[in-house]
Amino acid sequence: MNFDLILRNARLADGRIVDLGITAGRFAAVAPALAGEGPAQDLGGRLVVPGFVETHLHLDKSCILDRCSSEGSLQDAIAEVAAAKKAFTETDVHDRARRTLEKAILQGTTRIRTHVEIDPRIGLRSFAAIRRLQAEYAWAVDLEICVFPQEGLLNDPGAEELLIQAMEQGADLIGGCPYTDSDPNGQIARIFAIAKRFGTDIDFHLDFDLDPGRMGLDEVCRQTVAQGMGGRVTIGHVTKLSALPPADFAAVAQRLKDAGVAVTVLPATDLFLMGRSFDHNIPRGVTHAHRLSGWGVTCSLATNNVLNPFTPFGDCSLVRIANLYANIAQLGRPAEMAACLDMVTEQSARLLNLKDYGITVGNPADLVVLDAQAPAQAVAELAQPLFGFKRGRRIFTRPQAELHRP
């Protein structure tokens, strides 16, 4: 059999060493010692993953540290960005988002859900910019756009009309941010109604503080069941869960599983913003995604913000996010660290309902080669992506560091 490319001695996440035969941009064969003709490269047993999956990224407001302060609370960060956003132009958003998107691609990310703010201050300018990037970088990354109202919905006249315009113009799904609304449950209901109208999934920013006394999670789960949308709803942050005792946490985990609501944990932002009112014994404020996953909840780890008041750092590396989460959650066993890598690959793909993800015959040949031999090693050592492919075409190469001995 002839192939366009053969990648030999690839190590999969389950430890198997296989050859990958690629034809017409898809995996045509996955087998040990593959017999076939075509250009070949020996991976030397290095770990191969089917591309990292970023489930929660804000491209539109990345790289604005020079315009804002970064030393405040969540409310301060929202206010800082709200003020800066008024001066955003389509060109400005496009150029900043492009820099961030290219960083993600160079870190091996091949699928992204990006959240884009829509309201009467910014209008559809950011959405238009991200739509351009979606088309311009389709050769390297599948970019899914989730439009949402960061500063409220029912308390922000004109926001809903703009959200509907964005949906009509091609947004992939709808999101919400109930904790900024004067009527959180009312916003949740409106977001579900828009999703039902357009037949899309939903992704909420939710329960972003350390007071578990009242949670929007309950209403989201109730609406998910009532609307028959299990498996199509995600909630991000949910830092309130980090403040729950074990029995209450278990009850919430069961509720999420039963409703079919997925969870995205955002370690960098949650760690940076939570617990700022404490002057000692400062809580981490990061919900235990691995414990939710153990209950059967689909969970992902994601970047969220890059170089803005919500997160004044970031290189778009999902390996780094997995490593950070493992540190925060005090996970050191190989199986635990491997599970962290799973939450930026397989589980993230499941959260996005991707039907063609994975190193399987017939799927698009999306893959990233890491400088590691096992998933736990990749997380523990912050393994660098060496090169990657999108639909069988090489999209980046990262030279290995070289030691110059005397």
193-214 residue pLDDT tens: 999 999 999 999 999 999 999 9
Q: What digits encode the pLDDT tens for the residues 292-312?
A: 999 999 999 999 999 999 999
Give the per-residue pLDDT at 266.
Answer: 98
DSSP string, 366-401: -EEEES-SSHHHHHHTTPPEEEEEETTEEEEE-PPP
Calpha distance 352→54 (Å, rounded): 9
Contact predicate 391/25, CB 8 Å: yes
| pLDDT higher than threshold 70 for residue 381 | yes
Residue of 110, 23, 49 whose CA lies nearest to 6? 23
Give the per-residue pLDDT at 276.
Answer: 92
Output the six-digit token pair for 301: 């780890």
Rounded average pLDDT over 127-153: 98
Hey, how many other C-beta atoms are within 10 angstroms of the C-beta on 95? 12
Mean pLDDT, the chain, integer: 97
Residue of 91, 97, 85, 94 whose CA lies nearest to 123? 85
Calpha distance 120→153 (Å, rounded): 10
Q: pTM of the predicted model, to two decimals?
A: 0.97
- DSSP conformational letter for 304: B
Backbone phi and psi for residue 393, each to the nearest 5 degrees, phi listed first: -110, 130
Give the per-residue pLDDT at 70.
Answer: 63
Beta strand 233-237 with 202-206 is: parallel
Calpha distance 131→127 (Å, rounded): 6
Give the per-residue pLDDT at 363.
Answer: 98
Calpha distance 295→259 (Å, rounded): 13
Give the per-residue pLDDT at 395.
Answer: 98
Rounded average pLDDT over 157-162: 98
Calpha distance 56→221 (Å, rounded): 20
Tell me the pLDDT band of 1, cut-offs 50, 70 and 90.
confident
Percent of the chain with pLDDT over 90: 97
3-state secondary structure of 230: coil
Give the per-residue pLDDT at 69.
Answer: 76
Calpha distance 21→389 (Å, rounded): 13
Letter string b/e over residues 118-142, b meaning 16 or more CB atoms within 10 A of that residue's CB: bbebbbbbbbebbbbbbeebeebbb
Distance of CA 130 to the CA centre of its chain: 16
Rounded average pLDDT over 99-114: 98
Rounded average pLDDT over 244-271: 98
* Long-range contacts formed by 269-275: CB under 8 A, 24+ apart: 269/237, 269/304, 269/305, 269/310, 269/311, 270/208, 270/237, 270/239, 270/242, 271/324, 271/328, 272/310, 272/311, 272/312, 273/73, 273/74, 273/77, 273/208, 273/310, 274/209, 274/210, 274/239, 274/242, 275/210
| pLDDT higher than threshold 80 for residue 190 | yes
Give the least confident one: 74-78, 185-189, 232-236, 243-247. Answer: 74-78
Percent of the chain with pLDDT over 70: 100
Give the per-residue pLDDT at 296.
Answer: 98
Q: What digits encode the pLDDT tens for the residues 45-82?
A: 999 999 999 999 999 999 999 998 767 889 999 999 99
Note the maximum CA span of the chain. 69
